[in-house]
Structure 1
Amino acid sequence: MPEWIFEAAGLAGVVVYLGGYALLQAGIIRGTGYLYASLNIIAASLVLVSLSENFNLSSALIQSSWIIISIVGITRFYLINRGVRFSDEELELLSETLPLSPRSDARRFFDAGHWEDL
Structure 2
Amino acid sequence: MTIYDVIGLSGTVVMLATYGLTVLGKIDPQRGPALAGNFLGAGAVLISLSHDFNLSAAVIETAWALIAGIGLIRLAVKR
TM-score past 0.5 threshold = yes
The two structures have a TM-score, normalised by structure 1, of: 0.62
The two structures have a TM-score, normalised by structure 2, of: 0.89
1:92 aligned residue: none
For structure 1, the residue ranges without an aligned partner over 5 or more in a row are 83-118
1:75 Cα deviation (Å)?
A: 1.9
1:8 aligned residue: 6
For structure 2, the residue ranges without an aligned partner over 5 or more in a row are none
1:58 Cα deviation (Å)?
A: 1.5
Distance 1:76 1:65 in 2: 17
Distance 2:40 2:74 in 1: 18
Aligned residues: 79
Runs of 4+ aligned structure 1 residues displaced above 6 Å come to none
1:39 Cα deviation (Å)?
A: 0.3
Q: Which has the larger radius of gyration?
A: 1
Distance 2:5 2:73 in 1: 31
Name whichever structure is richer in helix by fraction. Answer: 2
1:56 aligned residue: 54
Higher relative contact order (CA 8 A, sep 6+): 2
2:44 aligned residue: 46
Aligned pairs for 1:1-118 within 5 A = 4-79=2-77, 81-82=78-79
Task: Kindly provide the CA deviation profile for residues 3-45 of structure 1, in whole angstroms up to 9, marking residues without a partner as x.
Answer: 6101111111110011001111111111121110100111001
- SS state at 2:2 partner: helix
Report the aligned-residue RMSD.
1.3
Distance 1:37 1:63 in 2: 14
Distance 2:76 2:5 in 1: 34
